Structure 1
Amino acid sequence: MGAGGTVATTVARCSGSRTLTVGVEEEFLLLDRADGRPALSAPAVLALLGGDPHIKAEAMRYQLETVTGVCTDLEQLAEELSRHRMLASRAAEELGCHLVASGTVPRHPPGLSALTADARYHELAARHGLVAGSGTCGCHVHVGVPSRELGVQVLTRLRPFLATLLALSANSPIADGVDTGWASRRHRQWSRWPTAAPPRAWRSAADYDAAVCHLIRCGRAMDERSVYFHARLSPRYPTVELRVMDTCLSVEDAVLMAAMARALVCLAIADAARGVPIKTLSDRQVVAELNAAARHGLDALAVDPYTSRAMPHRALLEHLLPRLPEPEPVALLIDRLAGRGTGAARQRTMWSEAGTPPRFAQLLAGATLR
């Protein structure tokens, strides 16, 4: 049975109907089979796929992005994620490279010389220099919301949970040919973007729009699409878009992140309707928790926004699960992640076993299709 079937079987019995839709964008690397270095093969892979609308170019020619449709249940989502990964992987294999799900390039990326031939990417590079050529890969989860006003309330209530989402998804310990000591080296690199920051505690959609317009006017963003808040109102869809996560090593990891993101949005909407108070964290506290999660993963400390107690993210998840409107699918997927380890932990195991960069790339490619 393929990866999609395995995950679908896992979640189908506990992922009943949801009121909120979910969609996922995943970014991937292409690594050369011969030496494990970035392979500038994305244009050829896309040509081989014949214009599949679910598989697209990314900023660098060694990157691809896959996009699911609007999904209503986790089984459907798992099947789409698995299918897109398999299609892109087979095309990459025909061209002598691996499709790899990792937040950072394991061996020295080539920089801006590998930029995709697209006017938008070249303008971003002209504005922001080498940060535009970092070649990091994220997982972006879109959750449908009834209105932008409610979406802004959701963003405020998501602030205390952004570090937990990052800790769960952390999948980039290896960069520049070494174990960096970070669970998510990607977060450290991505945070160099001038707009890669937590959402503020805005009072209304008008306040949110004013903040976006200010960033564009002062030159920190080219347009609304390049305002890269860790969670934002999507500039294209009626969704809250959570962008803080590393791209996920396996399909099941990605399904977990989508389930967790949607559950947190559901919880935020329910709490807002009931007037449930939540601890207000300063921007500095949110950033500090994100940096700790990027370094230490699930072992990092965070403040429970309901009790104000500090605890590791592992414990915070145990306290959080009973509060979720429908905790079963998330609880099952978290339990399975605890058994296999986070993406960062599994990457470190593969790194120690691989011996050579090509073998490491091969192991990552295998894990990407699970």
Structure 2
Amino acid sequence: MSLTASSAAEIAGPIAGQILTVGVEEEFLLLDPATWHNAPVAGAARAALAPQVRGLTRVEFRHSMMEMVTPVCASLPQLRRHLIANRSAAAGAARTAGARLVAVAATPVAEPDRTVEDTPRFHAISRHYGPVAHDPAVCGCHIHVGVPDPEVAVQVCTHLRPWLPVVQAMSANSVFHAGADTHHASWRGVQLERWPSLGPSPFLTSVADYERTVAELVASGVMLDDTMVLWWARPSRRYPTVEVRVADVGPTAGDTVLVAGLVRALVATVVADIAAGRPAVRPPEHLLRAAHWNAAHQGLGGTLMDLHARRPVPAWEMVDLLAETAGAALRRHGDDAVVARELARLRTEGTGADRQRRAGALPAALRMLAGLTTG
């Protein structure tokens, strides 16, 4: 049975007054600096990390990927410090392994070694999904925002759905594939559509609703098991958080800080909506998926769907509307000045996709991204 509006408001009320924590997982590619092919040296790079940093990395699906995880943070300046430290440590370890650490969200040239890391889980995924599991590596930025109650976390994911295409467009940072411009701003977003359990979360109203839906999808074969909930927003299985997974990895730590600040403020805003009994907007599923495809295709260079009004509007109009909607939460968390500065920079410099195209030929774009990753 779904929660009633009054019971949901009672649960969300105390959370709405809290300062929410934030943490970030960033995935990076390891590239050969001579060919810019993916370099399968993740094991050597992890081994080269200093012992005190090794606990902040995770074994990823591909031998050419390196993930770094921040601690739980209370402020954006604290988050920025950890992001910069993680990127610096990972870049140094990558150089020791003969590669460059690059914050780019899709394999830009080629991945000669498409085998998965040697774990039972990864081998099971490989067998179940076949060639889809052996697509070239893609790298995301996963934002965790502290939501301690699972019932509220499920509802937060539902309330976030109309806003996540905007976050996707702002973070677009994967132009190239097979050595050529894909004419998409986020090739990662397009490539990941091949995975059947990935995309917008369903419209869910309770933990019972969530668990029933996941069980049905596992029974259908779409999900290998209940660990394969790969939706753009999901209640974390490991932490008392909502995990937003839609963003491409950002070229710079500042790009990640911007996305993290806006996502935290959006989560705080919708928690307040839940506490006040305001219902979630429910756009048609076909329009929601179309909005995500368009965000991956155009980034901030065209229009985005206003899923509240069900009409296309200039992309930056949607960014401004998102920032305005989240404004009270940004101020309450002390993030308004940081986010305003990073938004101004984004407006001037463009997305990672824009910056890649301005750099010119692919090698120049990748050299630029390698510099931005730790710059």
TM-score normalised over the length of structure 1: 0.90
User: Is the counterpart of residue 236 in structure 1 residue 238 in structure 2?
Assistant: yes
- Match of 1:213, SS state, is helix
Read off the aligned partner of 1:335 and give its amino acid letter.
A
Q: Report the Cα distance in structure 1 between the residues aligned to 2:304 and 2:36, rounded to whole angstroms.
A: 36
State the partner residue of 1:341: 350
State the partner residue of 2:333: none
User: Is the counterpart of residue 361 in structure 1 residue 366 in structure 2?
Assistant: yes
State the partner residue of 2:57: 55
| Most deviating of 207-216 and 98-107 | 207-216
Gaps of 5+ in 1: 1-16
Q: Report the Cα distance in structure 1 between the residues aligned to 2:358 and 2:303, rounded to whole angstroms.
A: 24
Deviations 1:241-297 (A, max 9, x none): 101111111110011111111111011111222233554201111100000000001
Q: CA deviation at 1:110?
A: 2.4
Q: CA deviation at 1:298?
A: 1.6
Q: Report the Cα distance in structure 1 between the residues aligned to 2:133 and 2:353, rounded to whole angstroms.
A: 24
State the partner residue of 1:44: 44
Q: Report the Cα distance in structure 2 between the residues aligned to 1:310 and 1:366, rounded to whole angstroms.
A: 35
1:257-296 alignment to 2 at 5 Å? 257-277=259-279, 279-296=281-298
User: Is the counterpart of residue 131 in structure 1 residue 156 in structure 2?
Assistant: no
- Match of 2:199, SS state, is coil
Q: CA deviation at 1:57?
A: 2.1
Taking a change above 3 Å as real, the CA distance of residues 256 and 83 of structure 1, as seen in their structure-2 partners, is: same
- Match of 2:239, SS state, is coil
Deviations 1:212-265 (A, max 9, x none): 122222222223222101111111111111011111111100111111111110
1:186-335 alignment to 2 at 5 Å? 186-277=188-279, 279-305=281-307, 310-324=312-326, 325-327=328-330, 328=336, 329-335=338-344
State the partner residue of 1:122: 123
User: Is the counterpart of residue 94 in structure 1 residue 96 in structure 2?
Assistant: yes
Q: Report the Cα distance in structure 2 between the residues aligned to 1:183 and 1:278, rounded to whole angstroms.
A: 29
1:50-199 alignment to 2 at 5 Å? 50=50, 52-110=54-112, 112-113=114-115, 115-134=116-135, 135-199=137-201
Q: Report the Cα distance in structure 2 between the residues aligned to 1:100 and 1:216, rounded to whole angstroms.
A: 35
Taking a change above 3 Å as real, the CA distance of residues 110 and 353 of structure 1, as seen in their structure-2 partners, is: closer
Q: CA deviation at 1:323?
A: 2.5
Q: Contact 1:256–1:330 at 8 Å: present in 2 too?
A: yes
Taking a change above 3 Å as real, the CA distance of residues 151 and 353 of structure 1, as seen in their structure-2 partners, is: same
Q: CA deviation at 1:301?
A: 3.1
Q: CA deviation at 1:55?
A: 1.7
Deviations 1:165-221 (A, max 9, x none): 100110001111000000000011112111002111112111011111222222222
Q: Report the Cα distance in structure 2 between the residues aligned to 1:146 and 1:47, rounded to whole angstroms.
A: 34
Q: Report the Cα distance in structure 2 between the residues aligned to 1:349 and 1:322, rounded to whole angstroms.
A: 30
- Match of 1:224, SS state, is coil
Q: Report the Cα distance in structure 2 between the residues aligned to 1:321 and 1:169, rounded to whole angstroms.
A: 15
Read off the aligned partner of 2:346 and give its amino acid letter.
L
Q: Report the Cα distance in structure 1 between the residues aligned to 2:189 and 2:307, rounded to whole angstroms.
A: 22
- Match of 2:92, SS state, is helix
Q: Contact 1:289–1:301 at 8 Å: present in 2 too?
A: no
Read off the aligned partner of 1:120 and give its amino acid letter.
R
Q: Contact 1:111–1:130 at 8 Å: present in 2 too?
A: no
Q: CA deviation at 1:322?
A: 2.5
Read off the aligned partner of 2:55 and give its amino acid letter.
P
State the partner residue of 1:26: 26
Q: Report the Cα distance in structure 1 between the residues aligned to 2:372 and 2:211, rounded to whole angstroms.
A: 40
Q: Report the Cα distance in structure 2 between the residues aligned to 1:155 and 1:222, rounded to whole angstroms.
A: 22
Q: Contact 2:91–2:100 at 8 Å: present in 1 too?
A: yes
Q: Report the Cα distance in structure 2 between the residues aligned to 1:64 and 1:320, rounded to whole angstroms.
A: 31
Q: CA deviation at 1:315?
A: 0.2
- Match of 1:280, SS state, is coil
Q: Report the Cα distance in structure 1 between the residues aligned to 2:96 and 2:50, rounded to whole angstroms.
A: 14
Taking a change above 3 Å as real, the CA distance of residues 278 and 122 of structure 1, as seen in their structure-2 partners, is: closer
| Most deviating of 104-113 and 143-152 | 104-113
Q: Contact 1:256–1:333 at 8 Å: present in 2 too?
A: yes
Read off the aligned partner of 1:35 and give its amino acid letter.
T
Equivalent pairs: percent with the same residue?
39
Read off the aligned partner of 1:130 and give its amino acid letter.
P
Q: Report the Cα distance in structure 2 between the residues aligned to 1:54 and 1:185, rounded to whole angstroms.
A: 27
Deviations 1:122-159 (A, max 9, x none): 11111111222221111110111131111122111111
Q: Report the Cα distance in structure 2 between the residues aligned to 1:76 and 1:225, rounded to whole angstroms.
A: 30
TM-score normalised over the length of structure 2: 0.88
Gaps of 5+ in 2: 1-16, 331-335
